[in-house]
Amino acid sequence: MTAELPPQASPNIQRIGHPDFTQDLDLTADELRSLLHLAADVKRFPQNYSSKLFGKSIALLFEKPSLRTRMTFELAIQQLGGFSILNDGPIGSREPLKDVARNLDRWVSGIVARTYLQKTVDDLARWAKVPVVNALSDTWHPCQALADMQTLQEHFGALRGLKFAFVGDGNNVAHSLMLNCARLGIDFVIANPPKYDASPEVIARSTLIAAQTGCTVTATHDPAEAARGAHAIYTDVWASMGAENEAAERRTAFADYQVDEDLFAQAEPNAVFMHCLPAKRGEEVTDAVIESPRSVVFDQAENRLHAQKALLLMLLA
């Protein structure tokens, strides 16, 4: 029989000062650290939070297909005592988006949106009076980054001073990870083919934050430079949803950016491999790396549940 964990006082739930979570910087650095602390407690003592969202209803608006995001948000809401309702398909196609938002805020306690355009999330937040959460857009993937920071903390304890290497497309995942690493004192290096750089504005903003927190942000086209001495190597698919028509061109462009055993060997001996999933094995990562004992991809997937619980608690509890 598994022994039950002893009762423990839960940390105070710090409310987020911003009314929404449309992008990473809607959380201050202090709120980010508080969220990670809360997520760890939610994971260890889920029974302490099982009724915190009792009576709360949350709308899930999903323009893109999903496994991890949809399942973890639905489960998070249910396990916190609330309930959710899902609507698939384009947002604002049958009627103006501002009308969708103003209908929903009469019925629900919050909105979680997984969209193509960041403008869709921003407009929902503009017109709805209830909190809006960005569950993914083409610009940001902030909920993924929260789970990734939680996973790093679990494996390394202190985050300050780590080196984080992102090898691949300068996409929404890279943007969110870059900002969060900079705020938590983690050196961040991104390596990508020249045509697939991260947003110059995001790099500039992250570099400014890093200067204040005592770490660095580096953009390079050399994957070996990024991997050398890294504590975590992260990659993502080469052609994200919406870029499938570029898949053949991208396979050629990214051929030298695969995370294989040789590249992974340049990282620290205790380095972990990370991926937001789904992965295309044999393209951005080899099967040997993603299945190695140092791969934490399923820890990341699990922590989507706990980090999102913490986020919902800080927005709605």
What residues are labeled active site? Answer: 114, 141, 144, 236, 276, 304
Give the burial class of 58: count Cβ atoms within 10 A of its Cβ; 0-12 exposed, 13-18 middle, 19 or more buried: buried
Beta strand segments in the chain, E: 57-62, 83-88, 110-114, 132-136, 163-167, 187-191, 217-220, 232-235, 272-275
Q: Between the CA of residue 175 and those of 148, 170, 281, what are the distances in Å? A: 13, 7, 23
Contact in structure between 165 and 234 (CB atoms under 8 Å):
yes
Look at residues 110, 115, 111 and name the one whose alpha carbon lies nearest to residue 136.
115
> 3-class SS at 164?
strand
Look at residues 58, 116, 126 and name the one whose alpha carbon lies nearest to residue 89.
116
List the structure tokens of 100.
């969708």
Look at residues 193, 176, 175 and name the one whose alpha carbon lies nearest to residue 258.
193
Euclidean distance between the first and the last CA atom of the chain, given in angstroms as a whole number: 33
> 3-class SS at 88?
strand
Q: For residues 126 and 99, give the distance between their C-alpha atoms in angstroms, rounded to a whole number.
A: 11
List the structure tokens of 43.
């994971």
Look up residue 25 and give its amino acid: L
Q: For residues 140 and 143, give the distance between their C-alpha atoms in angstroms, rounded to a whole number.
A: 9
Look at residues 299, 300, 295, 266 and name the one whose alpha carbon lies nearest to residue 281.
295
